[in-house]
Each structure stands twice: as structure tokens, then as C-alpha cells.
């Protein structure tokens, strides 16, 4: 697969793509087909009309330089800090004020308490969306300390 396509950055910093037939696209978008999944597979390249122009089934099949470009774009789009510890949660009316430690440092945020903003991914992980649309993740509640687990129970 890696010999079939070409990925570059233009002078404006936009990601550009050339398919196996030589057709070129500029300012392409990189999206996960399954956004909540952080796996290496099924990554879609979209043109400026948000139409899929190429599907990457496994990023490891790409040349290293192309893989790096894709990973950078994914990191920009899917910046999701992982909550490692919940310091406190203060409930006021329908809002929860979270004070946490994440893999990106301390994060405080406000969450409307409703099922749309606290999504259980599987038995042990959660996806949170704050009032500004920022995303947070708890990958495995079993890895949280007991205090954090008890605090999480108050809002789930």
C-alpha cells in the first residue's frame, strides 16, 4: 500500500494526498472511521468536500514518513486527555465541576450531568464531554484510586 499513495505537507502546512493514479488532493482531512477507537486501523482521508478519497485499513502498512504525518493529524483532531485521578466533583443543580489530574496535567472542567455527556464505552471506560465540547476519557476505572472511583459513581 505504501507505494500506491503519497502524502506531503504544502507550504501552507496543509496535508496533501496523491493516489495510485497520480490524482492530487490538497487540504485533506484525516478522520477515524470509529472515532472513539484509538486503534491503528480504518482511517479515512477526506477531500475538501468531506468525501472519502482513501481508506487506510492499517496505518502500519504505510511508509514511516506517511505514518508520522497521519499520526500528527490524528493527534490534533482527537486530543483527548485521559483522566488518571479525580480530585473532586462538586455538583450544583445540573452541573458537575470536575477537578482532575490527566495524562496532560491538571484539568478542571464543567460537565452538564446527562447521559449524552458521560458515555460508557464498555464495562470499564468512559468518554466525557464538557460544556465547551472538550473531550476527556477514563480508559479503565479499575486503575483509578478508590476515592476517584467513588466520585465517579456520584455522576454515573
**Domain residue spans in the chain?**
6-77, 83-153
- In angstroms, rounded to a whole number, what is the distance separating the alpha carbons of residues 68 and 78? 15
Q: Tally Cβ neighbours within 10 Å of residue 40.
A: 17
Can you give the three-state secondary structure of 98-129, one letter per residue? Answer: EEEEECCEEEEEEEECCCCCEEECCCCCEEEE
**How confident is the prediction along the chain (156 residues), in pLDDT tens digits per residue?**
445 889 999 998 899 999 888 899 999 999 888 765 666 678 999 998 999 999 998 888 889 999 889 988 887 777 889 999 999 999 998 999 999 999 999 999 999 988 889 988 778 889 899 998 888 999 899 999 999 999 999 998
Look up residue 147 and give its DSSP letter.
H
pLDDT of residue 115: 86
Q: In sequence order, what are the residues at sequence separation of 6 or more whose Cβ sits closer than 8 angstroms to the Cβ of residue 129?
A: 111, 116, 117, 119, 135, 136
Q: CB of 41 within 8 A of CB of 81?
A: no
**CA-to-CA separations, 97 to 41, 55, 102, 151, 155, in angstroms, rounded:** 35, 40, 15, 12, 11
Residue 15 parent element (H or E): strand 15-18
SS3 of residue 37 by DSSP: coil
Q: In sequence order, what are the residues at sequence separation of 6 or more whose Cβ sits closer than 8 angstroms to the Cβ of residue 127?
A: 36, 80, 118, 119, 121, 135, 136, 137
Amino acid at each position: 500500500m505504501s507505494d500506491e499513495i503519497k502524502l506531503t505537507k504544502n507550504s501552507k502546512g496543509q496535508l496533501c494526498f496523491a493516489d495510485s493514479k497520480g490524482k492530487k488532493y490538497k487540504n485533506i482531512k484525516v478522520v477515524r472511521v470509529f472515532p472513539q477507537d484509538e486503534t491503528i486501523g480504518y482511517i479515512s482521508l477526506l477531500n475538501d468536500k468531506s468525501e472519502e478519497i482513501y481508506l487506510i485499513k492499517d496505518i502500519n502498512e504505510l511508509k514511516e514518513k506517511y505514518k508520522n504525518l497521519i499520526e500528527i493529524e490524528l493527534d490534533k483532531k482527537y486530543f483527548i486527555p485521559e483522566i488518571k485521578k479525580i480530585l473532586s466533583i462538586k455538583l450544583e443543580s445540573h452541573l458537575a465541576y470536575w477537578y482532575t489530574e490527566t495524562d496532560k496535567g491538571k484539568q478542571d472542567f464543567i460537565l452538564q450531568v446527562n447521559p449524552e455527556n458521560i458515555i460508557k464505552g464498555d464495562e470499564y471506560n468512559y468518554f466525557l464531554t464538557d460544556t465547551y465540547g472538550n473531550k476527556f476519557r477514563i480508559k479503565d476505572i479499575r486503575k483509578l484510586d478508590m476515592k476517584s472511583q467513588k466520585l465517579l459513581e456520584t455522576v454515573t
